[in-house]
Amino acid sequence: MNWIALLLTILGLVLLGLLLYWQLIIAEGAYLGPRVVVLMYDWSARIYERIKRYVPGDEQWFLGLPLTRALELIPAPLVLDVATGTGRLPRALLRQPAFDGRVIGLDLSRRMLREAVRRTAQFADRLTYVWQDARNLPFDDDTFDAVTCLEALEFTPDPRAVMAELVRVLRPGGVLLTTNRVGPDARFLPKRAFPRDEFERMLSALPLEDVKVRRWQQDYDLAWAVKIGEPRGGGIRPLPEILRCPACTDRLSREADLFRCISCGRAYPIDKDGVIKMARFERATLTSS
């Protein structure tokens, strides 16, 4: 091999290394599709919190306390945490003595949810976990008093579409809490992370008011907003009332250890750890009636 060929090989390997570093470490598989993202989170679920090193006081100060205050006028509020991971937001909220509501945590990584169940066991009677994709939330419109989605929009194929989905299930007057990736790596996440003014415009283009985007951590801005419309209802509602079939959007009825669509008959089992499995449902056993 002559010198030029050797140099080109080394250059090729370096470029390949940089490409892999970008796609797998910085973007965490975001441009390779949800399957790769989920695979990466499934692999790292056990060590995720060791990497993140959340400080409990900060979690209370920036998340649990302000969200509890924002919901203080609603008796027993119902909160949805999309891309809940290992249950960070449910923990911050349910540790607040003044929060008397319920939380539903949804994620597409089954192993992250397993960790979430383990880490929030003390709050099990006020928590439900759902295994499902954020792009197709299995809930009725205008359902939740608050919808949260932290450090996750950039890992979905279309953050704008996911934001619209978050707002769809939020009831008028309800609170949206979400994040936008900033910091040094954000420039390597085109169409997934946005300049602050563009992110504000994206939120304002949705039926939202009181949009506030503030610097939060080195890598994230935190965004608060309220859904426009006449506030009504609110509070905890039974699951069969709010759950919708992700395949046909019709209602689900509760059977012993599953939810079944009253229209298409698809079954969504409740796993041994209590997680409702919607992302990969068992083949439909159609009811005869």
Ligand X SMILES: C[S@@+](CC[C@H](N)C(=O)[O-])C[C@H]1O[C@@H](n2cnc3c(N)ncnc32)[C@H](O)[C@@H]1O
**Which residues contact ligand X by CB under 6 A?**
34, 37-38, 41, 83-85, 88, 107-109, 112, 133-135, 150-152, 155-156
Judged by CB, which is closer to ligand X: 130, or 242?
A: 130
Q: Which is nearer to ligand X, 83 or 117 (CB)?
A: 83
Q: Which is it for the CA torsion 210, 179, 83, 115, positive or negative?
A: negative
For ligand X, the closer of residues 173 and 279 by Cβ is 279
Q: Residue with the closest Cβ to ligand X?
A: 85
Query: In the 8-state DSSP scheme, what is residue 29?
Result: T
Residue ranges of the alpha helices (H) in the chain?
3-20, 34-44, 48-52, 56-59, 65-70, 88-94, 110-119, 159-169, 196-204, 239-242
Kindly tell me which of 4 and 51 has the beta carbon lying closer to ligand X: 51
Q: Give the residue among 265, 160, 154, 166 at the shortest CA–CA distance from 225.
A: 166
- CB-wise, 107 or 145, nearer to ligand X? 107
CA distance readout (Å), 231 to 92, 144, 237: 25, 11, 16
Nearest 5°: phi and psi at 27? -85, -5
Residue 218 Cβ, how far from ligand X at the closest point, in Å?
14
**From the CB of 38, what's the least distance to ligand X, in Å?**
6
In angstroms, give the least distance from the CB of 151 to ligand X.
4
Q: Give the whole-angstrom CA distance, residue 176 versus residue 147.
A: 5
- Torsion sign (Cα): 182, 170, 78, 74: positive
Q: How far apart are CA 17 and CA 58, in angstroms?
A: 36
Q: Is 92 or 267 the residue whose CB approaches ligand X more closely? A: 92
Q: How far is the CB of 202 from ligand X (least distance, A)?
A: 18
Least distance (Å) between residue 116 CB and ligand X: 9
